[in-house]
A and B are shown apart, each in its own frame.
Chain A
């Protein structure tokens, strides 16, 4: 593989890992709200979270450009106040991936929170645990397999994200050129087929390792709970 290809692979791993880890706390919080919350506008929140799944990725990317770009209302605020810039940076690619993977992540975590027996949470309350402790010591450990599944789904989605990323942060080698972007570029130039095939295989390998890893992890958690 060429240096350019390695750079794209490394960048994709960095972007996907950052997107997954940074969105996970938000994903758990939103999933908990949707699973357990009773508040006005819950269905609106649910729709908003699912929106990136339904919208064309280009539209999501364009909306990100409008809001998080240099002149966007959020983007200019973040750049002026905190010096955080998303547009045409790898951080922007991570943001686009996080948003695109968010619905999948929230869905998996929400289902696992809904499956946690609320009677156990009530029991923890009678033993003196306040709601935050109940969440940390009962709900969270019991829905861990769902959280892992959600994180892996988010990661896999991030590895493959193309449309929103290229719209929002373009396709700059070394900065925003992720694995899918490079594959796309290679298919557009004469003689790029061999390289595109190599990267496709790398892409498949990474996805399979991630999926297998999550399967093993979930099984280990499950078996520890059964026996031990």
Chain B
């Protein structure tokens, strides 16, 4: 699958200008609210007609304003999972699920299997219920199933977890991962949550004020993401569990990390997300401190983000780590590229992959 987007769109005083190509897997559109993420998925899905530009999926031109091509939404075969699920209130869960499949029956290929999708999403016990009686998390799983059964070439998800509480999010995330890994359907996923993107994305498209500011693989790109809530992602393997202290030890390119006991078995791959503001720097190996995790590295770059603060990027044996410091600290420690430092990590959040 390939998705090429190159569009301009004006809505009132808001100007959207976006150009990117999405690789297979899950591509996250990441940015603050109002950055134009939803406009992009609406354009790809055919709900908005862009002022100018092109949208091409798998070589098939869906929009080309110069050649006056605009394929209507119902002929695009692009599934859409909305933030507010939008299940049909007058149909049972089963008929909601089958709605799109019925229209997709003429598309050739294997018939989408209701049983397989129901198993994938764990919604078998809901089939005869009405949407009104479902919880938020259940509704979103049904909405994902409904989109899948229309056998889409691409699935759009617009903040599918935004309206849910933390527990419900945790309940759905594994299903989206299975979808990405097992169903093989490419996904364009809108989110403003770093944790979600770090966990789910293969590729990240970062947006700000209607423009694409960065595109690339999640490990390299996410650290550039948000000036207010930056951080870095480390690929890690669970090497052992320290049962006495209820800790898990992870191996990363940058070194070992000790973290509160994870549910993941030894050998499992996890993605650790370390917020820049949770990293302190020291010129000498810190002794007698409570923090368990200290990684050695060199300063790669220093980027001021305001008059008072700067982001320091560290090269820790090839892995990228970001620290958010005050400019005063940067000057006091004379942090310049190449300088060896020790990073003290106050906390790590974990996302299984």
Instruction: Give A133 to B102 CA distance when docked, in angstroms.
Output: 11
A128 near B92: Cβ-Cβ < 8 Å: no
A228 near B92: Cβ-Cβ < 8 Å: yes
Within 8 A of B (CB), among A129-144: 129-131, 133-134, 137-138, 141-142
Bin chain B's interface residue count.
Answer: 20 to 34
A126 near B130: Cβ-Cβ < 8 Å: no
- Give the distance to chain B from A224, nearest Cβ to Cβ, in Å: 8
Instruction: Give A125 to B82 CA distance when docked, in angstroms.
Output: 13
A138 near B88: Cβ-Cβ < 8 Å: yes
CB of A127 within 8 A of chain B? yes
Instruction: Kindly identify which residue among A119, A133, A138, A141 contacts B103, using a CB–CB cutoff of 8 Å.
Output: A133
Q: A225-B132, A226-B132 are in contact. Are A126 and B89 (CB under 8 A)?
A: no
Within 8 A of A (CB), among B81-101: 82, 84, 86, 88-90, 92, 99-100
B90 near A124: Cβ-Cβ < 8 Å: no
Within 8 A of A (CB), among B25-83: 45-47, 72-80, 82
Instruction: Give A189 to B113 CA distance when docked, in angstroms.
Output: 75
Instruction: Give A228 to B133 CA distance when docked, in angstroms.
Output: 10
A128 near B100: Cβ-Cβ < 8 Å: yes
CB of A120 within 8 A of chain B? yes
A124 near B104: Cβ-Cβ < 8 Å: no
A128 near B84: Cβ-Cβ < 8 Å: no
Shortest Cβ distance from A120 into B: residue: B86
Q: Which residues of A contact B99 (CB under 8 A)?
A: 124, 127, 129, 137
Bin chain A's interface residue count.
Answer: 20 to 34
CB of B146 within 8 A of chain A? yes
Q: A119-B82, A119-B86 are in contact. Are A128 and B77 (CB under 8 A)?
A: yes
- Give the distance to chain A from B83, nearest Cβ to Cβ, in Å: 10
CB of B343 within 8 A of chain A? no
Q: Which residues of B contact A141 (CB under 8 A)?
A: 90
A126 near B88: Cβ-Cβ < 8 Å: no
B150 near A225: Cβ-Cβ < 8 Å: no
Q: Is chain A's interface secondary structure helix, strand, loop, or mixed overall? A: helix
Instruction: Give A38 to B167 CA distance when docked, in angstroms.
Output: 44
- Give the distance to chain A from B248, nearest Cβ to Cβ, in Å: 42
Instruction: Kindly identify which residue among A127, A133, A225, A226 contacts B146, using a CB–CB cutoff of 8 Å.
Output: A127
Q: Which residues of A contact B82 (CB under 8 A)?
A: 119, 123
CB of B147 within 8 A of chain A? yes
Q: Which residues of A contact B92 (CB under 8 A)?
A: 228
B130 near A228: Cβ-Cβ < 8 Å: yes
- Give the distance to chain B from A65, nearest Cβ to Cβ, in Å: 44
Instruction: Kindly identify which residue among B47, B90, B130, B147 contacts A127, using a CB–CB cutoff of 8 Å.
Output: B147
Instruction: Give A149 to B170 CA distance when docked, in angstroms.
Output: 45
Instruction: Kindly identify which residue among B74, B132, B133 contacts A126, using a CB–CB cutoff of 8 Å.
Output: B74
A123, A131, A138: most-surrounded residue (chain B CB, <10 A): A123
A-B contacts, 24 of them at CB < 8 A, read A117-B86, A119-B82, A119-B86, A120-B88, A122-B86, A123-B88, A126-B73, A126-B74, A126-B76, A126-B80, A127-B99, A127-B100, A127-B146, A127-B150, A128-B75, A129-B74, A129-B99, A133-B103, A137-B99, A142-B90, A225-B89, A225-B130, A227-B130, A228-B130
Instruction: Give me 19 other A-B pairs in contact (C-beta within 8 A), A128-B100, A225-B90, A227-B133 excluded.
Output: A120-B88, A122-B86, A123-B88, A124-B99, A125-B74, A126-B76, A127-B74, A127-B99, A127-B103, A128-B74, A128-B77, A128-B150, A129-B103, A130-B74, A130-B75, A137-B99, A225-B89, A226-B132, A228-B92
